[in-house]
Each structure stands twice: as C-alpha cells, then as structure tokens.
Amino acid sequence: MSQRHGEVITSHHHKPSNTYPYSITTMKPKPFPGNGRGLSVEYMRMREGPSYFVILYRNSSKIVSAADPKDVWRCLGNAKYTPTAQALKEWAVEIVNSSLPKPEPVPDTSFASDVEEPNDNTKMIT
C-alpha cells in the first residue's frame, strides 16, 4: 500500500478522536492585550468547572487557577514591578470579576419584612 504526501494511514482498530465520551468545553480564550516580547497570557473561561489562566513566560508554561487572579502577576518574579505587569494584574482581576455571575436580588419574604412603621397609634410596652 503506497502513501501519498499528507495522507494518514490508520488501522481499523483506531477510534477517531471525536468519539471520546468526555470533552473539555471552554469558551473563547481571552488574550491579555499586552502580550508580546516573551510573555503570553490567556484567560480560559470554562462552562463547567474552574476557569484558569495559561501563562507562557521565560520558556516555561504555567496554568494558574482564576480563584486568585493575582497569582498570574506573581508568576512574573522580579518583573512584576514593571508597567506591563501592573497592567496584567489589573486585567486579570477585572476579567475574573466581569465573568462572575451577577447575583439576583432575592425578595424578602420573612416575618420581619411585614413589620409596620411606628405611627401615632403605636404603643410601647415597658
């Protein structure tokens, strides 16, 4: 059997990659606007499970939980005092806070919510 350039030969026992029962679904990654010159940071928001940051810096990579966005800034070591690092810290905190769900106000249905305001007919018990 000959193989043409770019053609992949697979066995009959190989399962295609799209048949795995579990998959990781992320929303579109949000890159840090100041990426460049050896620094690349992306925020990966997950539909289910914890979101995280992917950091590529100084020929290494790290995955940092979005639970504490300032950990992204701490990965920079001595460079964390530069203007780009300060912008990264602000961006990380802002992007995590903007992706948190907004709490809906819950109406107060407790017994204490039915209390009337004091008026002229109100008598104090002593």
Q: What would the pLDDT profile of 77-116 be if each residue is shown by its tens digit? A: 888 888 988 999 999 999 888 877 777 777 767 666 666 6
- B/e letters for 55-68, b = 16+ CB within 10 Å, e = fewer, are bebeeeeeebebee
Q: What is the pLDDT of residues 15-72, one digit of tens each?
A: 555 554 555 555 788 899 988 888 899 998 887 778 899 999 888 889 988 888 888 8
Query: How high is the pLDDT of residue 28?
Result: 80
- Residue ranges of E strands in the chain: 30-31, 39-44, 52-57, 60-65
Confirm if 72 and 56 have CB atoms less than 8 A apart: no
Give me the amino acid identity at 27: M
Residue 71, pLDDT score: 87
Sheet holding 39-44, edge to edge: 30-31, 39-44, 52-57, 60-65
